[in-house]
Amino acid sequence: MELINPDVVDLSRFQFALTALYHFMFVPLTLGLTFMLAAMETVYVVTGRQIYKDMAQFWGKLFGINFAIGVATGITMEFEFGTNWSMYSRFFGDMFGTPLAIEGLMAFFMESTFVGLMFFGWDRLSRPAHLAITYLVALGSNLSALWILVANASMNMPEGAHFDPDTMRMQFDSVVKVIFNPDAQAKFVHTSVAGYVSAAMFVMGISAFYILRGQHKAFAARSFRMAALFGIISTVAVITLGDVLGRLDYEHQPTKIAAIEGLWHTSKPPFEPWLAFALPDDARQENHLEIGVPFVLTPLVAHSFDTPITGMTELEEQAGPHIASGIQALSALRRYGQGHDPADLAQFRAHEADMGFGFLAMRHAPGQDVTAISAAEMDSVVRQTEPDILPNVFVTFWSFRIMVFLSLWFFAVFALSAYVSLTNRLERNRLLLKLCMWSIPLPILATEFGWITAEAGRQPWTVFNRLPTFLSASSHGVGYMIFSLAGFALLYSTFIAAELFLMFKYARLGPDHGAHGAQGPHLTVAHDRKDAFSIASSLSS
Amino acid sequence: MDSYAILKLVWAAILGILFIGLGTMVGMDMGVGTLLRFVGRNDGERRTALNIVGPHWDGNQVWFILGGGAIFAAFPTLYATSFSVFYVVMILLLFSMILRPVAFEYRSKADSRHWRASWDVAFLVSGTLPMFIYGAAFGNVLEGVGYHFGWTGQYYQDESFLSYLVNPFAILCGLMSVALSVYQGGVMLMLRSEEPIHGRARRYAMRGGVAAAALFAIGGVWISRLNGFRLTDANPGMPANPIQGQHVTVSMGGWLENFHAHPALWLIPLLGIACMLLGTLMVRADRPVLAWWIGAGSWACTIGTVGTAMFPFLMPSATMPDQSLTIWNSTASAYGLACMLVVAAIFVPIILSYTSWCYYVMRGKVRTADVIHDTHSY
């Protein structure tokens, strides 16, 4: 049989990471801004004050610029499982495809259909009807995130499916287990709330820009305060749910948590320090330049003071017997596929739980065929496979730390901003306003590093403990990968240039320009004539 | 027939409906994209054309997303294999599909002539190329694709991408799909525009309808000279695994055998030709509403014809016919199919009702003068 080309696997991973990270630059803003738009419009509908309609329409315009690329680059993700992860899709598609299809039916359709009415329907719908549409867009985008994260959780914590030797894949067997996967629940709240943090920082930062320039004062101050309050609540929630996720990883993905904490050897509670800084060395399996805070690690991870946390060296040793058993499972499975002999099936069943580790050993088997491993070679294959169970520790360790340090920064910025804004001293705190402005991209950066922590930490698996990443990729040639990577690089660079150009253009223009409904007789609906900019905008159009 | 086999059949029918919906709704928007530079001679007219599909293109595009999602969930092996063996065209399709949302949202947000002209080209490419690839994919599948499976279930490609890129029959199918989309896009423009866009759209819609009918007829003759695949023994309730368990023979004209066995099935392609011609007459008579529904009928009969010819094949393998993907060996598990069926039964009626409501809210003619002054428009 054809051998796996590691270069193609690496290029496929690189392409997926590139396109997923790119997609996720736009998603957090969509998730959060929809709810902020709904909140602004609610105030407008309840009070009837024009300024809140202007806010909803202005931020809605920026939302639209962002939303388009979010939707467009999401299509890439749906395609890539088939175009680049063929074996994964065949092996896991029965289960993984279902939440994705439900996402399309329940959420994406709703979000996409109503977003058209949200932009075009201002003058065709009554105020409450338009408000309902805005809420449906917000609900749709957040439900969409829910189902995507249900799918993602099934890769990290495969529950609700079992392997079937007759179809050679994971067979879906419990929709309840898939939906109520604890990882899915925690991840959904953590990720969507991270989106609210991004949106709050975005609105707060741009409002700070107007306040610094002395423009659109009433508009900017209201937007700023709303965003600061939204931001502080969201940041607290994101940190809390992050802790819940860490706890789940500790229970279900010990390799990920050990890599996150750079824990090469089993911890010694209660003194074991939490490493604030270290340079993990994957090749030598040790850390350089450790700076830690004593007594913090054990309660942080295990939520107790005396539970030792298993280190990576020990996890490798524990994996040895599983690898040997997995090789038995896979050899039996291959023989069963050829002869359908019940004895082979019985042997497979005896070692079934370790099948994934057998796949992992394929790379080190002669000719990538586990049935060809002789008794004499067995020990050496198992020993070579052991270190493969660990993710890249340097990447996992640092992406986690960047995310955590950034979230503490957001907490400080939002708390201070909320306080200063509520005490009406914003204009005197120019340094804080500048910090808000420069912090706009940081929550998105933190979200990206969150994704890297979760997915790089899941390695070497696509389906945790079931299917290794190197086996999941499509059997393409390197030429195909160069072709698609070049195309993505060209297209995505053009997109980001166009999006930043428009974002800066419309943010600079501010709410005076084109934030109103269709021009014509209804223009005079502006009730709040005291708001200078609403008059100015009626005149300018 | 056992319940698993019935579930497989139901999902094959749903796949057919999704393909019809995709052709009609996405094809319509794509047709508008293709015709943009031809029906709109100046910026205001082009914006008018764009705003006719403006409130709906995003919802329509979900047919495409949903088609992909349904193949993934209900036919995971087909999804995994077809997307990978057609890598080069799938990536091109993807690039043009992701260009469209951005083009809609960004085109009219800056005033520079170059900016707008570039996005107009993006509309032309992202309207024509996907529809061409959509049709060409059916053509390639009808001819058989070179692939086989290893013991783990991994596919291996047995032919160069050039063989499906430069394939005359597939090119014919691609052109037919473009012709149908030009027809449907033209009809949509007629529905909601005034002169001069209305008259231009009418001319292009008529050309699209006639071209589609001609290409469909040529394809029908051509297919009798192509190799078709027959399943000689297979158990419809078999575990969904293409590696083994079925036998396939290949013979020239084999795709017509379902029609020979049940002559009543000839009605489907005949009705297809009739729809394309009758639709053209309705466009000529300036009856766009009727022409729109007849256009949807053309798509239904075209997909129906291909489905009838290939039944029960989904993607035959030219190099290892016994491992061809069929309705019986490439679906999800019975549990997965049943689950998805329940979800679809709940949500499809809801989707259809709110989609129709959106069309109702946005009904009426789109006028160039309004578009230019409306700051929400594309």
Q: CA neighbours within 13 Å on the CB side: how many for B272?
A: 24
| CA distance between the termini of chain B | 53
In a domain, B337, yes or no: yes
**Could you tell me how far CA A110 lies from the centroid of its own chain?**
22
B14 within a domain of the structure (yes/no)? no
Coil vs helix vs strand at A513:
coil
* pLDDT for position B372: 67
Query: What was the pLDDT predicted at B373?
Result: 65
CA distance A134 to A121: 10
Whole-angstrom distance, CA of residue A491 vs CA of residue A486: 9
Q: How many CB pairs under 8 A join A and B?
A: 270
Any idea which residue has 């759209």 for tokens? Answer: B201
pLDDT of residue B369: 67
Asked if residues A34 and A56 have their Cβ atoms less than 8 Å apart, the reply is: no
Q: Please name the residues between 478 and 497 in chain A that touch chain B, using a CB distance below 8 Å.
A: 480, 483-484, 487, 491, 495
Chain A residues with CB under 8 Å of B62 CB are 104, 108-109, 112-113
Predicted ipTM of the assembly: 0.89
Tens place of pLDDT for every residue, chain B, 378 residues?
689 999 999 999 999 988 998 899 888 889 988 888 888 778 878 888 888 887 777 777 778 888 888 899 999 999 999 999 999 999 999 998 888 888 887 888 878 888 888 888 888 898 899 999 999 999 999 999 999 998 888 899 888 888 888 889 999 999 999 999 999 999 988 888 888 888 888 899 889 999 999 999 999 999 988 889 998 887 888 888 888 888 999 998 889 989 999 999 999 999 999 999 998 998 888 888 888 999 999 999 999 999 999 989 999 999 999 999 999 999 999 999 999 999 989 988 898 888 888 878 877 767 776 776 666 667
Rounded Cα distance between A512 and A538, Å, is 9
Among A356, A346, A355, A453, CA closest to A400:
A453
Question: A516 and B375 in contact by Cβ < 8 A?
Answer: yes
- CB of A293 within 8 Å of a chain B CB? The answer is no
Question: Are A285 and A258 spatial neighbours (Cβ–Cβ below 8 Å)?
Answer: no
The answer to whether the beta carbons of residues B102 and B126 sit under 8 Å apart is: no
> With an 8 Å Cβ cutoff, are A505 and B110 in contact?
yes
What distance in Å separates the CA atoms of residue B91 and residue B93, rounded to the nearest whole number?
5
Q: How far apart are the first and last CA of chain A?
A: 69
Q: Does B62 touch chain A (CB under 8 A)?
A: yes
Query: What integer pLDDT is reported at residue A531 of this predicted model?
Result: 36
Across the interface, do A116 and B56 touch by the CB < 8 Å criterion? yes
Q: Are the beta carbons of A108 and B62 separated by less than 8 Å?
A: yes
A84 touching chain B per CB within 8 A: yes
Q: Which of A101, A122, A173 sits opposite B340 (nearest CB)?
A: A101
Q: How many whole angstroms separate alpha carbon B185 and alpha carbon B46?
A: 14
H or E element at residue A306: none
pLDDT (tens place) for every residue of chain A, 541 residues total: 577 888 999 999 999 999 999 999 999 998 999 988 998 899 999 998 888 888 888 888 888 888 888 888 888 988 999 999 999 999 999 999 889 888 888 888 888 888 888 888 888 888 898 999 999 999 999 999 999 999 999 999 888 889 999 889 999 998 899 888 888 888 999 999 999 999 999 999 999 999 998 888 888 998 999 899 999 999 999 998 988 888 888 888 999 999 999 999 988 888 888 888 989 998 898 888 888 888 888 888 888 888 888 999 999 999 989 999 999 999 999 888 888 889 988 999 999 999 999 999 998 888 888 888 888 888 888 899 999 999 999 999 999 999 999 999 999 999 999 999 888 888 888 899 999 999 999 999 999 999 999 999 999 999 999 999 999 999 898 999 999 999 999 999 988 998 888 888 888 888 875 443 333 323 233 333 333 333 333 333 3
Pairing relation of β-strands B247-252 and B227-233?
antiparallel
CA distance A200 to chain B (A): 23
Instruction: Please tell me whether the peptide bond between B196 and the residue prior to it is cis, using omega within 30 degrees of 0.
Output: yes
pLDDT of residue A530: 35
Contact indicator for A107, A144 with CB cutoff of 8 Å: yes
Which residue bears the tokens 């694709």? B145
Classify burial at A417, counting beta carbons within 10 Å of its beta carbon; exposed 0-12, middle 13-18, buried 19 or more.
Answer: buried
What pLDDT, on the 0 to 100 scale, is given for residue A519? 33
For residue A424 the two structure tokens come to 């009406």
Shortest CA distance from B355: residue in chain A: A113
| CA distances (Å), origin A339, targets A255, A271, A343, B134, B151 | 37, 57, 10, 40, 12
Amino acid identity of A538?
S
B103 → chain A, closest CA residue: A68
Domain that holds residue B104: 30-373
Measured between CB atoms, which of B84, B348, B362 is closest to A82? B84
Which residue on chain B is closest to A96 by alpha carbon?
Answer: B73
**Interchain contact, A68 vs B104, CB within 8 Å:** yes
CA distance A431 to A449: 27
The reported pLDDT for the residue numbered B315 is 93
Q: HEC string of chain B?
A: CCHHHHHHHHHHHHHHHHHHHHHHHHHHHHHHHHHHHHHCCCHHHHHHHHHHHCCCHHHHHHHHHHHHHHHHHHCHHHHHHHHHHCHHHHHHHHHHHHHHHHHHHHHHHCCCHHHHHHHHHHHHHHHHHHHHHHHHHHHHHHHCECEEECCCCCEEECCCCHHHHCCHHHHHHHHHHHHHHHHHHHHHHHHHCCCCHHHHHHHHHHHHHHHHHHHHHHHHHHHCCCEEEEEEECCCCCCCCCCCCCEEEEEECHHHHHHHHCHHHHHHHHHHHHHHHHHHHHHHCCCHHHHHHHHHHHHHHHHHHHHHHHCCEEECECCCHHHCEECCCCCCCHHHHHHHHHHHHHHHHHHHHHHHHHHHHCCCCCCHHHHHHCCCCC
Helix (H, G, I), strand (E, B) or coil at A272: coil
Q: Are A60 and A44 in contact (CB under 8 A)?
A: no
**A219 near A44, Cβ under 8 Å?**
no
B143 found inside a domain: yes
Local structure of A169: helix, strand or coil: strand
Residue type, A170: M
Please check whether residue A336 touches B, CB under 8 A.
no
DSSP β-ladder status, B147-149 and A467-468: unpaired
Residues whose CB is less than 8 angstroms from the CB of residue A428 and which lie 6 or more positions away in sequence, other chains included? none
Q: Tell me how far CA of residue B367 lies from CA of B50, B186, B189, in angstroms.
A: 11, 17, 12
Residues 328-357 of B with CB under 8 A from A: 332-333, 335-336, 339-340, 343-344, 347-348, 351, 354-355
Q: Does residue B19 belong to any structural domain of this protein?
A: no
- Strands (DSSP E) along A358-405, which ranges? none
Pairing of strands A274-281, A169-172: unpaired
